């Protein structure tokens, strides 16, 4: 989700074109022969992985097939608004669109997307010999229907992780001062009290040193869904509140209806998160995922929960980051029992984010689009893409020498995702995702602004959610 251009992408273009085209030129040129001269249009959020598609993969595909790719990388709000309006109106503006993991269930329910599996079975001439869904990580399962057919080709997948400043945490003077004050060693937090102590310590440290440094980031924009998402997808699960606190059996949100959205644990989680604002940079209440990554990269916070797609450029790109070589990576802090539940598959500790490219049924260039989606799914292109955008969608990518080299520069981020990714989970399979977010999020905004208490916010959010689910027909 931050979504900035990444490392020297243009410099990679020629090499990628040469390596991929030489190996696969016959299929791509043959398959594209009848489509040469066509133009396909796509839209995505402006992310490091999307920048790589725009600057490297799209030009390489065009050279291989003669099909022009016009790719629009824009803000999350604009991307979603433009894509869904196009699909709702059946206007065919876009031939491929970015589908976030959390919205796919709504799109499938509305029959917005082309069944890629079925299409390739029916049009064997368009099926690339290198397109093998078994090469994907299990993240691809998020883009399948009940029959196992694929409706989106994953283009990014990453976990939201705990980043911290190694230079600050490893400094002997800081270690000594921290232990003297809190009676335990300074290290990445494993629980919420430790996280709060660290936030307090480095906020005071920044004041004492006259530095623009605070103890934590908080993604708490008061008018943007990103704050709602940080709470329900990243913070609440670390307190043992899953699926936004909605009971998947009866679709109740409030405690009285079998949910946990306004449970004592959820209220504790929201209060803890909002109280962290006292130790966050002043821009926190206007920060989406973009600004959180920017704040951390500027050295304005000692720790924070940051979308993993930003890990690579924050840790390695001196043109964009002030803390190159100073970034540590760890799992989020959790309450007692939460880690054990996640390890058993009975819960999760944070958000496994990402998205895919899908083809709207309204597209008038579906054949050309399905070629492009297969092109970006090639194993050959994955390593450079992973290095540039800190995303991995193929299992083999983890073992590529380029990725291993980058892994060392990013404090083992890729290894963490490979070994501990099972502890994270994507958004729940709600076809009513947007509707519930819209009725519940305003109460979170009010709590952030101090207009209502966290406890009242969740009581009202749960009641509004129950009412909306009843209106939608999910509750009696």
Q: Indicate the average pLDDT of the chain.
A: 93
- pLDDT tens per residue across span 60-91: 999 999 999 999 999 988 999 999 999 999 99
Q: pLDDT > 70: what percent of the chain?
A: 95
pLDDT range class, residue 23, cuts 50, 70, 90: very low
Cβ–Cβ < 8 Å for 266, 239: yes
Mean local confidence (pLDDT), 398-413: 95
Q: How far apart are CA 173 and CA 151, in angstroms?
A: 54
pLDDT at site 25: 52
pLDDT at site 103: 86
3-state secondary structure the chain: CCCCCCCCHHHHHHHHHHHHHHHHHHHHHHHCHHHCCCEEEEEEECCHHHHHHHHHHHHHHHHHHCCEEEEEEECHHHHHHHHHHHHHHCCCCCCEEEEECCCHHHHHHCCCECCHHHHHHHCHHHCCCCCCHHHECHHHHHHECCCCCECCEEEEEEEEEEEEEHHHHHCHHHHHHHHHHHCCCCCCCCCHHHHHHHHHHHHHHHHHHCCCCECCCCCCCCCCHHHHHHHHHHHHHHHCCCHHHCCCCCCCCCHHHCCCCCCHHHHHHHHHHHHHHHHCCHHHHHCCHHHHHHHHHCCCECEEEEEHHHHHHHHHCCCCCCCCCCEEEECCCCCCCHHHHHHCCCCCCCEEEEEEEECECCCCCHHHHHHHHHHCCCHHHHHHHHHHHCCCCEHHHHHCHHHHHHHHHCCCHHHHHHHHHHHCECCCCCCCHHHHHHHHHHHHHHHHCCCCCHHHHHHHHHHHHHHHHHHCCCCC
pLDDT at site 26: 81
pLDDT range class, residue 8, cuts 50, 70, 90: very low
Q: Is the pLDDT of residue 252 over 50?
A: yes
pLDDT at site 371: 98
pLDDT at site 124: 93
């Amino acid at each position: 989700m931050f979504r900035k251009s990444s490392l020297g992408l243009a410099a990679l273009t020629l090499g990628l074109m040469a390596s991929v085209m030489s190996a696969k030129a016959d299929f791509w040129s043959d398959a594209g022969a009848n489509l040469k001269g066509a133009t396909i249009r796509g839209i995505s959020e402006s992310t490091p992985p999307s920048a790589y598609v725009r600057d490297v993969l799209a030009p390489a595909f065009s050279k291989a097939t003669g099909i022009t790719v016009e790719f629009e990388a824009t803000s999350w709000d604009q991307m979603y608004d433009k894509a869904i309006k196009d699909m709702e109106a059946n206007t065919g503006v876009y031939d491929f669109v970015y589908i976030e993991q959390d919205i796919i269930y709504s799109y499938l329910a509305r029959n917005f997307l082309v069944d890629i599996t079925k299409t390739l079975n029916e049009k064997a001439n368009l099926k690339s010999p290198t397109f093998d869904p078994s090469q994907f990580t299990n993240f691809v399962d998020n883009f399948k229907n009940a029959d196992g057919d694929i409706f989106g080709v994953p283009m990014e997948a990453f976990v939201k992780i705990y980043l911290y400043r190694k230079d600050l945490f490893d400094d002997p003077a800081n270690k000594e001062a921290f232990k003297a004050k809190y009676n335990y060693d300074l290290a990445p937090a494993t629980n919420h009290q430790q996280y709060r102590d660290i936030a307090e310590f480095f906020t005071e440290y920044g004041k004492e040193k006259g530095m623009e440094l605070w103890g934590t980031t908080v993604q708490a924009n008061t008018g943007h869904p990103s704050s709602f998402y940080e709470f329900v997808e990243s913070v609440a699960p670390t307190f043992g509140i899953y699926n936004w606190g909605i009971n998947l059996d009866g679709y109740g949100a409030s405690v009285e209806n079998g949910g946990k959205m306004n449970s004592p644990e959820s209220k504790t989680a929201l209060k803890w998160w909002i109280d962290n604002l006292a130790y966050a940079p002043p821009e926190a209440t206007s920060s989406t995922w973009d600004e959180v990554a920017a704040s951390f990269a500027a050295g304005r916070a000692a720790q924070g929960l940051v979308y993993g797609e930003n890990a690579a450029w924050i840790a390695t790109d001196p043109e964009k980051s002030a803390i190159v070589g100073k970034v540590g990576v760890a799992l989020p802090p959790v309450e007692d029992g939460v880690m054990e539940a996640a390890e058993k598959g009975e819960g999760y500790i944070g958000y496994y984010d990402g998205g895919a490219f899908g083809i709207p049924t309204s597209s008038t260039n579906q054949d050309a689009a399905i070629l492009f989606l297969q092109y970006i799914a090639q194993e050959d292109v994955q390593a450079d893409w992973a290095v540039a955008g800190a995303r991995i969608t193929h299992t083999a990518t983890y073992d590529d020498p380029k990725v291993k080299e980058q892994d060392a520069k990013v404090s083992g981020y890729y290894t963490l995702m490979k070994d501990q990714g099972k502890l994270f989970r994507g958004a729940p399979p709600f076809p009513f995702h947007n509707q519930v977010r819209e009725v519940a999020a305003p109460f979170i905004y009010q709590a952030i602004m101090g207009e209502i208490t966290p406890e009242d916010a969740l009581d009202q959010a749960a009641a509004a959610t129950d009412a909306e689910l009843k209106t939608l027909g999910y509750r009696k």
